[in-house]
Amino acid sequence: METLGIWIAAILTLCIYSFLYRDNPFYRFAEHLLVGMSVGYIIVITIYFGFIPYAWTPIKNAVTDETARLGFLTLIPICMGCLFFARLSSRRAWLIRYPIAILMGISSGIMIPNALQTDIFAQVRGTIDPYSRIGVLSAFEITGAILMVIGVVCTLTYFFFSVEHRGPVNWLSKVGIAFLMIGFGSAFGNTVMGRVALLIQRVDFLINDWIGSIF
Amino acid sequence: MIKTTQWVAICLVLCLSVSTAFSQESAAPSNVTAVDTPNDDGSSITIKWDAAAEDTGISGYQILRQIADGDLEEIGELLPAGTTTYVDSAIEKGNIYTYIVRATTETEATVDSEQTIPVKGTGEWFHTGKTALFIVMLLFSATIVWNIYDARSGKEIFVRRIPGLEAVDEAIGRATEMGRSILYVLGLGSIGRVATIASMTILGQVARRTADYETPLRVPCIDPIVLNVVREVVKTSYIDEGHPDAYNEENIFYLTGSQFAYAAGVDGMMVREKPAAIFLQGSFAAESLILAETGNSIGAIQIAGTDSEHQLPFFIAACDYTLIGEELYAATAYLSKDPMFLGSLKGQDWGKVLILGMIVLGVALEISGINWITTLLQQVN
């Protein structure tokens, strides 16, 4: 059974890699298999980890257990969710806007404070923080702290949209974009290294696990 | 008759016993309190006790918990000596608990503290630790709202040139001339992602133009909720432009919810349908280069935009134009020229001025030995 699994994995890997040459029936087969199986898998996951624990079980408990009557409150979000099916009727399709509005409102309420905390305030603090220890920092660390402030100020200047980029603003934003590109370059190299590691892992599977199982 | 030496031995044993008992008594954790953990959803109780003196020979602490009339049970691992706090996060809401802190000595003897008073975990409506963040958010929101009103009152707001957005018309025009479709990919983001919302507003503007030119617009979605919103957005654009008949709901469809299956499916669409223009706007992850490289290989004009900073290098390398981070959020204002979006953009710029000012002032103050800005930021975080 394990050998059969290795053969299936190896053949599908080769089918997907055949796309490097051009689109072909083997790639199309693997693509449709992957898409179809992933949809089926997600439906099962949604039923087991979404519908059953959050909708079915609370309602079932509320019906059967007197101490769990509060579970009937789950009917409110369930009804809101059911409004998504309003799309099936052209006359009632507008009802779908209610659950979408609620969802977007809740998501924004959760995301915006988190973004402020992690993307803004934590970064500002990280930029300023080294200067509280400036007396004990090495020359290298001081240079890093200075570069950090210059980089942040210039990069932020690049993202001013309501100001025309002329004169000093233009120069600052150009330095900012240079900082961005240096950052992107290092991120690119880092990720490519990671992807090459994935390729090596796959080739290792083909050579050792698959071909190795034949000979 | 008991001899003098025997008396001495008995006395020594008694003294030793008394001193041992006394020392064990003194090793018992003192001032043990159990309180509902503040600023949480009621799912934890915090137990605190005083640190034992160094010479008591305590090697660790074990927490014991009792539910109402139930038995005492050990919870968690043995805590190292010096620990004075434990958060019990494995409680059930509504139940009443009492706790005992058991000190373990190096000789594996144990001494129990007094049992705490009963306590119940309750959730709080307001997180007092986030008051500073709340105030800052109010300030930011007020700045944006004030600028929106300013823009609505007729004041002209300048928006700098964003090359990637100026190419939108060029891309749509090219697709129309070639008689091919436009592929719009919103990435992996759910409806809660800011990038997805920004992408949908750009899609609304793109759909207005495709409605005018009657160019097919194909949108494969990874999230069923995003799919429904996208259909609404595109349909509204077509109706607004006076071409409701040109709207084809089947062109906006659910592909799959799995990341790489989605990438494989979109790649297949690219090579088979050969769209003349591809928009990759939204939240992306490891599939970004797979999509952008395939789009590049079929010769489509590609305009990408994301706030996923790790994917931006791939878009910059493989696409014709890339909206970097916040440029994606600015796109709506840029394309629509709507006073509300323009005012919002201006308000965000004021927010950036505030951040810049905070950094410059913070650095100057820190060098001078004044650290109230970092203290404030610490509180906000």
pLDDT tens digits along B200-244 = 989 999 999 999 999 999 999 999 989 989 998 999 999 999 999
Q: What is the pLDDT of residues B173-190, one digit of tens each?
A: 999 999 999 999 999 998
What is the pTM for the complete model shown?
0.79
Q: Say whether pLDDT at B22 is over 60.
A: no
Question: What ipTM was reported for this prediction?
Answer: 0.84
Is residue B174 within 8 angstroms of chain A, CB to CB?
no
B chain contacts of residue A20, beta-carbon cutoff 8 Å: none
3-state SS track over chain B: CCCHHHHHHHHHHHHHHHHHHHHHHHHCCCCCEEEECCCCECCCEEEECCCCCHHHCEEEEEEEEEECCCCEEEEEEEEECCCCEEEECCCCCCCEEEEEEEEEECCCCEEECCCCCCEECCECCCCHHHHHHHHHHHHHHHHHHHHHHHHHCCCCCCCCCCHHHHHHHHHHHHHHHHCCCEEEEEECCCCCCHHHHHHHHHHHHHHHHHHHHCCCEEEEECCHHHHHHHHHHHHHHHHHCCCHHHCCHHHEEECCCCHHHHHHHHHHHHHHHCCCEEEEEEECCCCHHHHHHHHHHCCCEEEEEECCCCCHHHHHHHCCEEEECHHHHHHHHHHHCCHHHHHHHHHHHHHHHHHHHHHHHHHHHHHCCCCHHHHHHHHHC
Distances (CA, A) of A173 to A72, A163, A179, B129, B362: 57, 11, 10, 36, 22
Q: What is the pLDDT of residues B66-109, one digit of tens each?
A: 987 788 899 988 898 888 999 999 898 778 999 999 988 878 88
Residue that is written with structure tokens 């892992």 in the block = A201
Task: Give the right CATH number for B28-125 from 3.40.50.980, 2.60.40.10, 3.40.50.150, 3.30.2010.10.
Answer: 2.60.40.10
The CA distance from B78 to the nearest CA of chain A, in Å, is 33
Per-domain residue ranges for chain B?
28-125, 157-337
Size of interface A-B (CB pairs under 8 A): 176
CATH of domain B157-337: 3.40.50
A33, closest residue in chain B (CA to CA): B261
Whether the predicted pLDDT of B11 surpasses 80: no
Q: Which residues of A touch B363 (CB under 8 A)?
A: 127-128, 131, 149
Interface of B with A in 342-361 (CB under 8 A): 345-346, 348-349, 352, 355-356, 358-360
| pLDDT greater than 60 at residue B248 | yes
Shared fold status for B28-125 and B157-337: no
B371 touching A (Cβ < 8 Å): yes
Tokens of A74: 């789950």
Checking if the pLDDT of A15 tops 80, the result is yes
Write out the two tokens for B21. Answer: 């008992």
**pLDDT at position B16:** 53
Q: Show residues of chain B in contact with A38, CB under 8 Å.
A: 256-258, 261-262
Find which of A112, A142, A162 to mutate to test the B interface (most B CBs within 10 Å of its CB).
A162
Confidence band of B24 (pLDDT split at 50, 70, 90): very low
Chain B residues close to A107, C-beta within 8 Å: 190-193
What mean pLDDT comes out for the span B274-279?
A: 96
What pLDDT shows up at residue B54?
65
